[in-house]
């Protein structure tokens, strides 16, 4: 079976790595000629609406995406000729933060207070209603902390408006959370849903840096997360993997956003789960039986940003798995990750003690936020 993927970044690369043993082959469409998945299949270089490239993808058996901002209209156009999974509507709702929040709230999934902001008077009215602190965000195209500004006082309003004004925005109430977490699940075309263990996440400057599973939460919180993601998957008639990002505040989980694709927070599943998120995504997309989402033990994932660390010393730590995305170094760019996997928490802690002195100061400092 031949799978077309819109986007050829590291997520597409890891899909292809997981799909090879299943007998799948791949074609990719990406605007970048050096997209890192291109080594593992046929790469078509062009914009998302490139007619000739889209026609080539339409000749595949299935089409999916590794990037949430592929225009939903392009996916809908492809769906007229080939099975596109997840469906275009899942991307359409997720590409507009106001629509996304309305969808989640309408499903009974708690979200932060939110208001549309298109003008300065809108911003003042939203601040009056929601209060400060709050976060001003673009409605479209923001990810990894881009397109947003934290407003702590009224003095922050004008600088934020100067930077973000002139486009559709939302103001979102600040959530005083205890920690962040992410729930990844997979749904088949027949409606079967399998949830991975909840993952605790640590971000810096809006970018994921660490992901630990299990998240170390109560059964009640874990149940809230799995129920919320299942409700969302069913409402979207979703096929494939999806991750719902959440804030934990006391005994409640509050949804931040969802990603209609495999997700950075679940990279630990490659070594740490019976079936990785990438393999299960492809199984769902290609109508193959879903694999188990159960954990093999405990796992901690490190995101490498900017440039890959020197690997020789790190690889000497027992249980460490290494992933180089074959991307050119660039400040802030996700270039790889490593996952530390152990049978139990005590064994993981022992391995982590050996790893800590080898980490850069910034990464080592973030470990304290895992609780």
d(CA 234, CA 131): 34
- 142 has binding-site annotation: yes
Residue 180 in marked binding region: yes
Ligand-binding annotation for 30, yes or no, is no
Asked if residue 267 belongs to a known ligand binding site, the reply is no
Q: What are the distances in angstroms from CA 167 to CA 60, 120, 147, 172?
A: 37, 11, 11, 16
Of 352, 295, 334, the residue nearest 145 (C-alpha): 334
Q: Tell me: pLDDT of 144 over 60.
A: no
Annotated binding residue 144? yes
pLDDT confidence band for 143 (50 / 70 / 90): low
Q: What angle do CA 270, 298, 212 make, to 5 degrees?
A: 80
Confirm or deny that 137 is annotated as ligand binding. yes
pLDDT 10s digits, 194-235: 999 999 999 998 899 999 999 999 999 999 999 999 999 999
* 174 is an annotated ligand-binding site residue: yes
Query: Is 326 marked as binding a ligand?
Result: no
Longest Cα separation, the chain? 58
The CATH class, in words, for 113-173 is alpha beta
Find out whether 97 is annotated in a ligand binding site. Answer: yes
pLDDT digits (tens, 9 = 90+) for 259-307: 999 999 999 999 999 999 999 999 999 999 999 999 999 999 999 999 9
Residues in the chain: 371
Residue entry with tokens 């159960």: 294
Residue 257 is assigned to a ligand binding site: yes
- CA atoms of 11 and 210, how far apart (whole Å): 17
146 is in an annotated binding site: yes
**175 known ligand binder:** yes
- Its pTM stands at 0.95
Stretch 340-362: mean pLDDT: 94
Q: How confident is the model at residue 145 (pLDDT cuts 50, 70, 90)?
A: low
**Is 256 assigned to a binding site?**
yes
Domain range annotation of the chain: 2-84, 113-173, 179-370
CATH class of 179-370: alpha beta
CATH fold, domain 2-84, is: Rossmann fold (3.40.50)
Cα dist. 356→315, 322, 338 in Å?
13, 16, 13
């Amino acid at each position: 079976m031949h799978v077309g993927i819109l986007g050829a970044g590291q997520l597409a690369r890891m899909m292809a790595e997981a799909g090879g043993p299943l007998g799948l082959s791949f074609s990719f469409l990406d605007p970048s000629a050096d997209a890192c998945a291109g080594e593992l299949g046929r790469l078509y270089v062009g914009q998302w609406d490139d007619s000739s490239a889209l026609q080539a993808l339409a000749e595949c058996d299935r089409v999916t995406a590794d990037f949430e901002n592929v225009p939903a209209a392009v996916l809908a156009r492809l769906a007229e000729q080939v099975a596109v999974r997840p469906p275009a509507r899942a991307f359409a709702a997720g590409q507009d933060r106001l629509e996304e929040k309305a969808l989640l709230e309408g499903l009974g999934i708690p979200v932060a207070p939110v208001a549309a902001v298109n003008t300065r008077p809108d911003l003042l009215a939203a601040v009056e209603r929601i209060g400060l602190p709050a976060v001003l965000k673009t409605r479209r195209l923001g990810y990894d902390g881009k397109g947003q500004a934290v407003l702590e006082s009224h003095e922050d309003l004008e600088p934020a408006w100067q930077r973000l004004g002139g486009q559709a925005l939302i103001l979102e109430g600040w959530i005083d959370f205890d920690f962040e977490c992410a729930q990844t699940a997979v749904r088949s075309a027949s409606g079967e849903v399998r949830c991975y263990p909840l993952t605790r996440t640590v971000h810096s400057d809006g970018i994921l840096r660490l992901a630990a599973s299990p998240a170390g939460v109560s059964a009640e919180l874990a149940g809230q997360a799995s129920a919320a993601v299942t409700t969302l998957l069913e409402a979207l008639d979703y096929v494939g993997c999806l991750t719902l990002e959440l804030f934990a505040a006391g005994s409640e989980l509050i949804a931040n956003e969802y990603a209609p694709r495999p997700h950075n927070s679940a990279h630990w599943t490659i070594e740490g789960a019976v079936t990785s998120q990438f393999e299960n995504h492809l199984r769902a997309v290609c109508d193959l039986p879903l694999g188990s989402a159960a954990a093999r033990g405990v796992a901690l994932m490190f995101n490498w940003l900017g440039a890959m660390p020197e690997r020789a010393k790190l690889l000497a730590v027992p249980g460490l798995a290494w992933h180089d995305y074959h991307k050119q170094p660039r400040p802030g760019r996700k270039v790889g990750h490593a996952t530390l996997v152990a049978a139990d928490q005590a064994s993981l802690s022992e391995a982590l003690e050996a790893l800590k002195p080898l980490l850069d100061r910034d990464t080592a400092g973030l470990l304290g936020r895992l609780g």
